[in-house]
Amino acid sequence: MPTGAAKGFLWNNSPMRKSERAFLSMLPMIGSASTGIKDNAMPPKICLVTPEYPPLRWGGLARTALRVSEHLAGLGATVHVFHHRTVDGLPPLLDENRTTEYHGDIVVHEVTVGRETFPQGRALWDCPHTLTLQMLFESLEMLHREEGFDAFLSFFLYPTGFVAGLLAKREGRPHVACAVGNDVKKYVFSPEKTAACRSALENPDRLVFLAEDLLALADALVPIRDKSRVIYNSVVQGAARWPGPRKQGPFSVRAAGIFKHAKGLPYLIKAIAALRRTGEIVLDLAGETRPEEIPLRDALIDRYGLADVVRPHGVVPHEAMPEWLAQGDVFVLPSVSEGCPNVLMEAMAVGLPCVATRVGATTTLVEDGVSGLLVDWGEAGQLETALGRLRADPGLAAALGGQAARRMALFSPERERQEWEAVMREVVVW
């Protein structure tokens, strides 16, 4: 068993001492044909802790958390999801801050936590995040006190992995933490969050990363490779299919997501501006732009005169995304930082030719020149060249699209379920 494995855990039990194991070994076997009762008949009760979960949010993190919760429920576990939102003003009371809903077999708890405010200036010991983190911990502790969870599974290192890791460690419960993307690529560079990220990496019994380069950077901060695994996201191939290169209208470049620094939208805008000089082109955007990114986006659109070229479509419902993607000529992922991008997998699954930067799991998802085109991140000129190739060569676009759909068949939900099951069975016995 790899370093850091949690041994001797049974569902609905604390770690067993040798004397307890010896005593249990002398008991008659339970599970005869006459009783119909099986060993460890009680289902496992797992608390999945995540900052985002549908239907409130449908970003990549939320969708990954949803799929894994469904995988665990399908394996017979009793799954509770704990997610939160932060509010300004008076903080809610701990006995009034939780709502619970049942999404099929999954119990979903949303908790509301406060945000600390300070008068003019702050004392040395003041921190704007203390109240939020403390209330998160207390709310999770109260839920655990009521439910008695057998194990914890957290998504995102900060704040959820940090908080869940502290509670699981204190309570002696197994904990698997999943690092998704920005929690590694962004927060390790934030001095006030580095200590929390270190704790979130050190405490779990197992770590799951959505890409090898996330694991490598985290391992540079804390040596964790021996207890880490890489599990890629999955995609379902539905009925929507790219019909092939369009013969009329401007060349439609499609991009989607929650646009922030990590998503690299400014580099794509620069590439579109250059391509516009040699032919008709439009940039169709689905999703939302973070407020802090809007001034740069708008400044670039104004600089290059692209007001009639960049076409925001707002948030496209998740179930409508495959059809929306299939209406374009190419999908672009211009990110400077990524985990395992769900939207790129969805675009490839419909057979749409794709251009992506070499970041996160894209070098595994895309075979360069076979099932898509890869370029270096932060290089608008390389995006321009790749898009220009596809616009000029419909045959290449069609070939890449067909191979993209073939490639995504390898990243099935069943493969993802098996890999998550294997990780959970490494730390909890059932």
Q: What is the mean pLDDT of residues 90-107?
A: 97
Burial per residue of 204-221, b for 16 or more beta-carbon CB atoms within 10 angstroms, e otherwise: bbbbbbbbebbbeebbee
Q: What is the mean pLDDT of residues 5-31?
A: 38
pLDDT at 26 over 70: no
pLDDT at 271 over 60: yes
- CA dist 281 and 231 (Å) reads 37
Q: Is residue 147 part of a domain?
A: yes
| Alpha-carbon distances, residue 319 vs 63, 243, 323, 339, 344 (angstroms) | 12, 19, 9, 22, 15
Is 258 found in the same domain as 188?
Answer: no
Please give the pLDDT value at position 1: 40
Lowest mean pLDDT among 57-66, 215-224, 226-235, 357-366: 57-66
Q: Is residue 385 part of a domain?
A: yes
Is 275 found in the same domain as 315?
Answer: yes
Is 417 found in the same domain as 404?
Answer: no
Among residues 420, 8, 421, 2, the alpha carbon closest in space to that of 174 is found at: 8
Please give the pLDDT value at position 55: 84
Q: What is the mean pLDDT of residues 224-234?
A: 98
Is 185 found in the same domain as 111?
Answer: yes
Q: Is residue 244 part of a domain?
A: no
Q: Is residue 7 part of a domain?
A: no
Please give the pLDDT value at position 34: 29
Residue pLDDT, tens place only, 36-84 = 323 445 789 999 999 999 987 778 899 999 999 999 999 999 999 999 9
Please give the pLDDT value at position 212: 96
Is 179 found in the same domain as 75?
Answer: yes
Question: Residue type for 87, please?
Answer: V
Answer whether the bond into residue 159 is a cis peptide, omega within 30°.
yes
Please give the pLDDT value at position 9: 42
Range of the domain at 388: 251-408
Is 25 found in the same domain as 135?
Answer: yes
Identify which has the larger pLDDT, 2 or 277. Answer: 277
Lowest mean pLDDT among 123-127, 264-268, 322-326: 123-127
Is 417 found in the same domain as 368?
Answer: no
Q: Is residue 246 part of a domain?
A: no
Q: pLDDT grade, residue 393 (50/70/90)?
A: very high
pLDDT at 304 over 60: yes
pLDDT at 364 over 80: yes
Is 171 found in the same domain as 134?
Answer: yes
Is 278 found in the same domain as 151?
Answer: no
Q: pLDDT grade, residue 192 (50/70/90)?
A: confident
Q: What is the CATH number of the domain that holds 267?
A: 3.40.50.2000
Is 227 found in the same domain as 316?
Answer: no
- Non-local CB neighbours of 52 within 8 Å, separated by 6+ positions: 59, 61, 62, 65, 83
Q: Is residue 256 part of a domain?
A: yes
Please give the pLDDT value at position 412: 97
Q: How much of the chain exceeds pLDDT 90, in percent? A: 80
Q: Hey, which bits of 293-395 come out as E strands?
A: 310-312, 330-333, 354-357, 373-375
Q: Are 405 and 350 in contact (CB under 8 A)?
A: yes
Is 274 found in the same domain as 344?
Answer: yes
Q: Looking at the 3D structure of the chain, how many domains does it have?
A: 2
pTM: 0.86
Q: Is residue 331 part of a domain?
A: yes
- CA dist 211 and 362 (Å) reads 9
Is 392 found in the same domain as 420?
Answer: no
Q: Is residue 292 part of a domain?
A: yes
